[in-house]
Structure 1
Amino acid sequence: MAEEERAKGRSAIETPEDEAEPVAAEGAVVVGVDGSEAALRAVRWAAERAAWRSVPLHVVHAYGLVSRYFAMDVPVPPGVIESLLAEARAILREAVAEAEATASGVEVHTQLVNHPAVPALLRCSQGAELVVLGASGFGGFAGMLAGSTTVAVAGHAAAPVVVVRCGEGRSAPPTSGPIVVGVDGSPLSERAVAGAFEEAALRSAPLVVVRAWMDVEDEGVMRRAKLFFTNTPEEDEVRALLDEQLAGWEEKYPGVSVERVVVRDRPRRQLLERSRTAQLVVVGSRGRGGFTGMLLGSTSQALIHHAGCPVMIVRPRDSDQED
């Protein structure tokens, strides 16, 4: 009898009325929600982008009751299940209302699934335009580091991931300023440039392309290097290569104003500094210095934790040779 009751408890959790397997959000903007204010900021940001791109918005809430609350072999009282499901549905309704209020007319779809958040969002990222997440989850404090779900999705997603950060002293992400993209000449960097040009064109914003190198930690070495190696033949070569990389994109997006920044400095320092006045920073998930199999490089890690504006992390395709 006890075994029968336990089986009933598991069945009630695993097959609730709203449960469905997470599905790929082909051609859509995906936003993950968890009831936090950070998630609602992400919903507003994602709704605007879906409207600009004329694509649907998929709002995903993965509540994962089994992993969050109960041991697998412990029966769960029906009232508890109903209460938790009611909370999950309320979170989704609030997010949908926020999306529709932000971008009236945007096509909104929902997914409410009883799965852990990371695998659910990774599945939804297949074929998506973007995956959008808040910088911290439920219970997070303003200015805190990005949550574990955000870091994991940014490191594994099949689509670009935008982490919606506000910056110090702001309650909403900036809506003015340039789009900033970090480049290093790698294939993944080329994908970041493509995303940055598209975003700049959509927002009628200027684009700042940053090519920084000499990623060393010792500040004294850095200052001496800047003093002795400014305007060297190597720097001229970097500028020429950057001009070559951007030529085709400037032809494709003639309305985008482009500023080139070529500097001997740590990329993460340059990009973090520029994020204070930007409305979006775009980077590859890792640069040339990363190791095969590394999910996020030091620059992308620093940005998702500390940037002063939303950050777009571009992941490699299977055809890219860096992973």
Structure 2
Amino acid sequence: MAEDKVVLVGVDGSPESLEAVDWAVDRAACSGWRVHILCAYSLPSFTTASLDGGYAALDDSAVRSGAEAVVNEAVARAQGRGVTVTSSLETGDPAGVLVDLSEDASLAVVGTRGGGGFADRLLGTVSSALPAHSHCPAVVVPRHTEGSAFTPVRRIVVGVDGSDSARKALRWAVREAEAWGAELTAIAAVPMASGAGALAWLPAAVDREQVLTDVRSGLDRAIAEATEGHPDVVVRRHALDGNAAELMSEFSTAVDLVVVGSRGRGGFSGLLLGSVSQGVLSHASCPVMVVPARTREEDVRVGRTQTTPWSRA
């Protein structure tokens, strides 16, 4: 049910986190989902020396007031755009709070390269921790600087290497393409070039074109499986010789969303998507969605009674 779907977005007052709010609201509008805006804060683990040699306690009410101002600004930005918006303040480490709450969200969204926002909270830390540990797909939105906006999403590229993680990423990319009405391209990268590439040890006698042909066959099978039940989604596909992280980062300059798995081993290219996702997150020019190996919708939850901030709102 659409009313059960929540896009969780973390804010800290930085321009990057407000870009994340914009993306989250537009994504929620595509499917009739709700948006929950959250600011998590904690007091620093140090005290401040006063002039008389004693220690001045940091006023928790001042910190909370700052967090409230951050949430109010984000809520004002999100309202009036056709989606239900709720919000909350939570105490604790922002990355830890977002990871915990991601267990009951359908999507989690944060900005990246934050800084200068509330309490000098660096979103850079959160934007690396959340994709690595989130229970639902996590989207990291870079700061928009020039050219067209990140939404609406019209072009999506997904990295596929044959691993279970990549297959889940492909399935989620198909859903995103369907929700946005976007074009989807699946990329399988095989680093066979001479040098330090993962397959550079292949003997010269090996037909490298045949390797790419085999990869294409595996990619075709994965796409056929992922698009079952989604007849309107057409997936372009390419098997390319090159470094996956570099290729995906290159594609990020020409598309609106990059989708990768959080980790993966084996499959027809033998790549490690963990390193790929980290590389793409570091260099992508557009939002990046990292799909965990196990997502909320695939979990079997018996007797789960956790109360979430959006259920209390």
- Which interval holds the TM-score relative to the shorter structure? 0.7 to 0.9
Question: Displacement, 1:288?
Answer: 1.8
- CA distance 1:177–1:56, change in 2 (3 Å): closer
Distance in 2, Cα, partners of 1:69 & 1:123: 28
Aligned-partner SS, 1:239 = helix
Q: Residue 195 of structure 1: which of 158, 172, 179 is its match?
A: 172
Distance in 1, Cα, partners of 2:242 & 2:205: 13
Q: Residue 76 of structure 1: which of 44, 57, 63 is its match?
A: 57
CA RMSD, 1 decimal: 3.4
| Structure-1 residue corresponding to 2:311 | none
| Structure-2 residue corresponding to 1:238 | 215
- CA distance 1:217–1:87, change in 2 (3 Å): farther
Which residues in structure 2 correspond to 1:174-189 (within 5 Å)?
175=152, 177-189=154-166
Distance in 2, Cα, partners of 1:124 & 1:170: 34
| Structure-2 residue corresponding to 1:278 | 255
- CA distance 1:303–1:47, change in 2 (3 Å): same
| Structure-2 residue corresponding to 1:312 | 289
Which residues in structure 2 correspond to 1:1-323 (within 5 Å)?
27-67=5-45, 76=57, 80-101=59-80, 103-104=81-82, 106-139=83-116, 147-166=124-143, 169-170=146-147, 172-173=149-150, 175=152, 177-214=154-191, 218=195, 232-288=209-265, 297-317=274-294
Question: Displacement, 1:250?
Answer: 3.1
AA aligned opposite 2:222: Q
Question: Displacement, 1:233?
Answer: 2.6
Moved more, 86-95 or 25-34: 25-34
AA aligned opposite 1:256: V
The gaps in structure 1 that reach 5 residues or longer are 1-24
The answer as to whether partners of 2:174 and 2:226 remain within 8 angstroms in 1 is: yes
Distance in 2, Cα, partners of 1:100 & 1:52: 16
Question: Displacement, 1:178?
Answer: 1.5
Question: Displacement, 1:217?
Answer: 8.6
The answer as to whether partners of 1:166 and 1:173 remain within 8 angstroms in 2 is: no
Instruction: Report the identity percentage.
Output: 37
1:102-128 per-position Cα deviation (integer Å, ceiling 9, x unaligned): x23x11121201211111111110121
AA aligned opposite 2:6: A
The gaps in structure 2 that reach 5 residues or longer are 50-54, 300-313
Distance in 1, Cα, partners of 2:131 & 2:139: 8
Distance in 2, Cα, partners of 1:169 & 1:314: 27
Aligned-partner SS, 1:110 = strand
TM normalised by structure 2 equals 0.79
Distance in 2, Cα, partners of 1:259 & 1:26: 32
The answer as to whether partners of 2:47 and 2:56 remain within 8 angstroms in 1 is: no
The answer as to whether partners of 1:59 and 1:109 remain within 8 angstroms in 2 is: yes
- CA distance 1:147–1:217, change in 2 (3 Å): farther
Distance in 2, Cα, partners of 1:296 & 1:67: 35
Distance in 2, Cα, partners of 1:67 & 1:26: 37
Distance in 1, Cα, partners of 2:47 & 2:16: 23
- CA distance 1:115–1:224, change in 2 (3 Å): closer
Question: Displacement, 1:229?
Answer: 6.8
1:258-309 per-position Cα deviation (integer Å, ceiling 9, x unaligned): 211111211111111111011100001123269xxxx972211111111011
TM normalised by structure 1 equals 0.76
Aligned-partner SS, 1:126 = helix
Aligned-partner SS, 1:297 = helix
Distance in 2, Cα, partners of 1:216 & 1:243: 23
Question: Displacement, 1:61?
Answer: 0.3
Distance in 2, Cα, partners of 1:209 & 1:63: 39
AA aligned opposite 2:64: L
